[in-house]
Amino acid sequence: MRREHIEKSAAEIAAQVRSGRVSAAEIVEETLAHVDLVDGALGSYLTVLADAARAAAVRVDERVRGGEQLPLAGVPLAVKDNMCLDGTRTTCGSKILERWIAPYTATAVARMLDAGAIAIGKANCDEFAMGSSCENSALGVTRNPYDPARVPGGSSGGSAAAVAAYEAAVGLGSDTGGSIREPGAFCNLVAFKPTYGRVSRYGLIAFASSLDQIGPLTRTVEDAALAYDAMAGYDPMDATSIDRPVEATASALREDLRGLRVGIVREFDTKALGPDLDRIYRQAYGDLERLGAEVVEVSLPTAEYGVATYYLIAPAECSSNLARFDGVRYGLRVEGNDVRAMYDKTRAAGFGPEVKRRILIGTYALSSGYYDAYYVRAQKARTLIARDFAVAFEQCDLIACPAASCPAFQFGAKSDPYSMYLMDYYTIPMSLAGLPALSVPCGWTTPADGNLPMPIGLQLCTPLFGERLLLGAAHAYERATNHAGARQPVLDGVRA
């Protein structure tokens, strides 16, 4: 199978399409042929938009010929299936929306398309973005391109797998407590969650509104910057989007870290992650220092309450956000003798166990008599966690820490919900504080239950609106280390 163009970065593809050396149509044909070949086994996509992608390519080629300098000209895009794209099936990985056709397009998606990207398909995810392995999708299994016996991570697992397997150059994910960063780390990608409010949530089907944030999954830091620059900025359709100028990040990519102070979190002791990961992270922190950064120790004393806090706030919001899936206006309806019975049967049949669990937890946390003890306390804890970061950032410009506590695991390995929740231990605190954070490949480890080395992600995080610094620093680290290039995904031997 020829993969002449699609293994290139989004930046390279767009440059070639802009220059006319290759057409968007050729990129799309090569991508679709590749998807045809590998996706039966990988399951990145729930819906492949072959016809729409071909039509979009024609328009992009016309715009390029018309002289438009499209930053993402012809770049194949995987859209997580919790983002609306007008006229396409948008399922959230749930039976309740299995046949729902979105009547409008999410702002972030529209901006990517406007920048020249071409939506190849809607990518699998944990149902309503609730999960860390994609195993909670009711509509299909997605495999990790670096070891098909393992999960791609989640909830944006389909987007991550698609980009890792060259089925797209950019994947759009949504991150509520780590749903971009963790699958990005599992799939050897750059995985970036911007500051809350930087990218519009309009058209992103809500899980937890105060935490959800759209961001890119890419194979290079530069691609993440290009995608972010295309998507970021105020949207009058989202009252929580921030009306503040966006400074381009693609022009802020650095080659070193001189003059920067990097904080290592005392409470995130990597020894607890085993000797292999401990070595990888120590090496990574050392590399940051070698790039010119001053490494300092900082403290996030309340970060350990992140998971507990998150699992009150996120379910509380989701219990309300998911109420609308009631069978009245759209989506699945299972008839009953009266409207109450219809609600009960529809939601019983339409939602999977994890979604139901979180709706129950959230309903309980908001109930009269429990509200103060759970929801209000969780909000107070959230404030304390954000304050911890503010204090830490008085001593450093960036924080470096693990993205996940382990590499991609085998299917079924985390059957206990709580062990799955702990997957987001290192990513949740940043989400609660609304901070921009990303995962960048930092090494490989061969898990005890396998024989293929699996990627590990280093998480970097800055204060609010620190995207230029964040992507700039990640770029310096990526260029100096190039961990991502150490292995290729398993594509040729993959069979369903």
Partner 1 sequence: MTAGYEAVIGIECHVELRTRTKMFCGCVNEFGGEPNTKICPVCLGMPGALPVPNAAAIEHIITAGLAFGAEIPAFSKFDRKNYFYPDMPKDYQISQYDMPLTRGGAVRYWLEDGTLKECALTRIHLEEDTGKSTHAGSGDGRIAGSSYSLVDFNRAGVPLMECVSEPELHNAQEAIGYLESLRRTLLALGVSDVKMEEGSLRCDANVSIRPSGSSELGTKTEIKNMNSFRSVERAIESEIARQIEVVGGGGRVVQETRGWDEVNGVTHPMRSKEEAHDYRYFPDPDLVPLEIAHERVELLRTELPELPWQRFERYTAQYGLAPKQATQLLDNLSLATYYDRVVDASGNAQQSSNFVLGELSRLANETGVAVAESSVSPEHVAELIALVEGKRINSKIAKELLARMWSGAGSPAAIVEREGLAQTTDPAAIERFVDEVLAANEKVVADYKAGKTNVMGFLVGQVMKSSRGKADPAIVNELVRKKLT
Name the residues that contact partner 1, by CB under 8 A.
82-84, 90, 92, 97, 100, 102-104, 106, 201-206, 208-210, 236-240, 316-317, 319-320, 323-326, 328-330, 339, 343, 363, 366-368, 371, 375
Kindly state the smallest distance separating residue 397's Cβ from partner 1, in Å. 28
Identity of the residue numbered 145: P
Q: Looking at 80, 122, 193, 414, which residue is catalytic? A: 80
Q: What number of residues does the chain have?
A: 496
Kindly state the smallest distance separating residue 281's Cβ from partner 1, in Å. 34
Rg (CA), the chain: 21
Kindly state the smallest distance separating residue 426's Cβ from partner 1, in Å. 23
Q: Write out the two tokens for 62.
A: 């016309």
- 41/92 with CB nearer partner 1: 92
- 90/309 with CB nearer partner 1: 90
Does 271 qualify as catalytic in the annotation?
A: no
What is the Cα–Cα distance from 135 to 128, expressed in whole angstroms?
12
Q: Looking at 44, 94, 155, 156, which residue is catalytic? A: 155
Does 319 qualify as catalytic in the annotation?
A: no
- 160/204 with CB nearer partner 1: 204
Kindly state the smallest distance separating residue 339's Cβ from partner 1, in Å. 6
- 367/419 with CB nearer partner 1: 367
Kindly state the smallest distance separating residue 180's Cβ from partner 1, in Å. 17
Does 320 qualify as catalytic in the annotation?
A: no
Q: Write out the two tokens for 212.
A: 């959800």
Q: Looking at 132, 133, 179, 431, which residue is catalytic? A: 179
Burial letters for 382-403: b for 16+ Cβ neighbours within 10 Å, e otherwise? beebbebbeebbeebbbbbbbb
- 174/188 with CB nearer partner 1: 174
- The residues, any chain, with a CB within 8 Å of residue 415's CB and separated by 6 or more, are none
329 SS3 class: coil
What is the Cα–Cα distance from 88 to 71, expressed in whole angstroms?
24
- 240/405 with CB nearer partner 1: 240
Kindly state the smallest distance separating residue 109's Cβ from partner 1, in Å. 10
Answer yes or no: are the C-beta atoms of 263 and 230 closer than 8 Å.
no
Kindly state the smallest distance separating residue 156's Cβ from partner 1, in Å. 16
Pairing between β-strand 261-265 and β-strand 294-298 as defined by DSSP bridges: parallel
Q: Write out the two tokens for 222.
A: 């530069």
Q: What do you get for the CA distance between the two ends of the chain, in Å?
A: 18
Pairing between β-strand 190-193 and β-strand 261-265 as defined by DSSP bridges: unpaired
Identity of the residue numbered 92: C
Which residue, chain included where needed, has tokens 């020829």?
2
- 238/424 with CB nearer partner 1: 238
What is the Cα–Cα distance from 242 to 235, expressed in whole angstroms?
8
What is the Cα–Cα distance from 312 to 436, expressed in whole angstroms?
22
- Active-site residues, by number, are 80, 155, 179
